[in-house]
Amino acid sequence: MVSNLELFSQLDLHSRCEEQIANETDRNLPYAGMILQCETLKRRYINCLHRPVGPTGKYNCHGLTFASRRTAMEGPAVEKLLSEDDYTEVTIDMVLPGDIVIYRSGPDVRHSGIVVRGFPELLILSKWGTAHEAIHGVDDCPYQGYKTFYRITDEPPRL
Partner 1 sequence: MNLQDFDLTGASESYLLANTHLFLISRLQDDPVVQNLSRNFSSGEIRGVLRTSIQKGPDSLEEAVWPYILLVAIFLSGNFSDLQEAAGLPSAKLKWYGLVAATLLASAPPTNRMVVEISPGNLSEGVEWLNPPTNVVTVAEAGGQWSNLPTSVAVTSETKP
Residues that bind partner 1 (CB under 8 A): 8, 24, 26, 31-34, 37-38, 40-41, 55, 57, 60-62, 72, 74-75, 105, 107-112, 128-131, 142-143
110 exposed, middle or buried (CB, 10 Å; 0-12, 13-18, 19+)? Answer: middle
Tell which residue, 67, 66, 44, 63, has the closest CA to residue 54. 63
* Closer by beta carbon to partner 1, 41 or else 152: 41
- Residue closer to partner 1 by CB (options 76, 96) is 76
Torsions phi, psi for 67 (to 5 deg): -135, 30
Neighbour count for residue 91 (Cβ, 10 Å): 9
* 112 versus 148: smaller Cβ distance to partner 1: 112
Q: How far is the CB of 115 from partner 1 (least distance, A)?
A: 18
Taking the complex as a whole, the smallest distance from the CB of residue 54 to partner 1 amounts, in Å, to: 10
Q: Are 14 and 84 in contact (CB under 8 A)?
A: no
Report the nearest approach of partner 1 to the CB of residue 51 (Å).
16
Q: How far is the CB of 1 from partner 1 (least distance, A)?
A: 21
How far is residue 118 from each of residues 3, 27, 124, measured CA to CA in Å?
A: 41, 34, 9
Q: Rounded CA gap, 131 and 78, in Å? A: 20
Cβ closest to partner 1, residue 79 vs residue 85: 79
Cβ nearer to partner 1, comparing 44 with 158: 44
Q: How far is the CB of 65 from partner 1 (least distance, A)?
A: 10
DSSP 8-state assignment for residue 106 = T
Residue 155 identity (one-letter amino acid)? E
